[in-house]
Amino acid sequence: MADEKVFSVQPRFKIGDYPTGWALVDGIFKMGDNIPQYGTEFRDAYLSQAWVDEPMTAGVFSTWVEKAQTVDWKITGGKIQANYFARLLHQADNGAGWTYHEGVGALDYLCTDKGETEELARDLSPAVVKELQDFYKNYKAQTVKEPDFKPLDRLIDKATQGPIKDLNHMDSTRLIKIGMPGMRWRYFPEFRDPVSLPDGNLIQIQSMPSSQDRFVGYGHCALSRLINAKNLMLGYLNYFRQEIGDLPSELMFIINGMSDTKFNDALTKYKTDKKNAGLDEYGKIFWLGSDDPMTPLDVKTLSLTSPNKAFNYQTMIEWWAKLLALNTGESVASTGSYSMPVLPRL
């Protein structure tokens, strides 16, 4: 396998050359909780991780991805051509397979604005890959106001004419837009030189593509449309998680006219007797005593929680389920049924 030829500009497919993390983007988007601005490279890095922390979002996305992986695809065309591409798709991502390829692609479609990105890997010579690496760097170093793009046209022709040898998923969070004619994106592998990608070697499948010129190449993925509501729902979930977990006691008992020593001794005996009897202690009552001899014995209770909430939790769950259904293609009429939307394919 060591001498097997790999048709890709991505170093992760080369043996002994695996990426381990992109410090630039990863570090920036983890610095705070603010959602990065639409159209920036940091937004997709944020969105690609933000779906995990809310259980209903994670559940719906998981089901959606699994259904995308089990769609019964069919290849049509001439026998030779159909067999060629069937083998190519079955060996997608350097042998990982079509199921893996569709899974990671479907997840990108749901939670990155660039959407599902696929590299059409061609038989490129090392010289052409080096030219792709260097062209943008040299172009940026030029001082002329109107650069000559004819060398770029010739380079794109060399990089897109060869037959397709593999179909590889490409991490959309590592694509930064450079907007050059015929070469929109630049790919940043881990600790390696970036490579500009000709448009003819990249397929993008986006949800709701932007109609604005400045955002060409970006869409509005399901999570991007849901992110504010998701963060609101996560706040409610955190509230209820704390309410049944580590919040203060529900009741306060205020005892006056009884010494702390006598009270603590009585409370300790009460807890010990319960433990010996095998009874669970509720532990939601806070006791407060006073041994002032001038104060007569008195016991008061004070509720620390309100029985009436300003919102209805069940209503919030139903509202959130309908939002998830609307933005992922599920049936809104019945949350028990799931209708898989048809993904556009080339």
At 214-249, the pLDDT tens digits run 899 999 999 999 998 998 888 887 777 766 655 555
Rounded Cα distance between 174 and 9, Å, is 13
Nearest to 6 by CA among 66, 96, 133: 96
Q: What is the mean pLDDT of residues 176-190?
A: 87
- 258 or 321, greater pLDDT: 321
Q: What is the mean pLDDT of residues 201-213?
A: 92
Which residues face 169 on adjacent strands? 118
So what's the pLDDT on residue 113? Answer: 95
Q: Which of 4-18, 39-53, 296-310 has the lowest mean pLDDT?
A: 4-18
Q: Say yes or no to pLDDT of 144 above 80.
A: no
Which residues is 288 bridged to in the sheet? 254
- 125-136 confidence digits (pLDDT tens): 888 888 888 888
Q: Among candidates 19, 22, 36, 45, which has minimal Cα distance to 108? A: 45
pLDDT-based confidence at 44, cuts 50/70/90?
Answer: very high
The pLDDT mean for the chain works out to 77
Q: DSSP class of residue 302? A: E
State pTM to two decimals: 0.70
Least confident of 13-17, 251-255, 305-309: 13-17
Q: What is the pLDDT of residue 1?
A: 39
> What do you get for the CA distance between the two ends of the chain, in Å?
31
Tokens of 123: 């038989």
Mean pLDDT of 183-199: 86
CA atoms within 13 A on the CB side of 296: 0
Distance CA 163, CA 343 (A): 25
Instruction: Decide if pLDDT at 334 tops 70.
Output: no
d(CA 7, CA 164): 9
DSSP H/E element including 203: strand 202-205
Instruction: Round to whole Å and give the CA distance between 253 and 274.
Output: 19
Per-residue pLDDT, 288 = 57
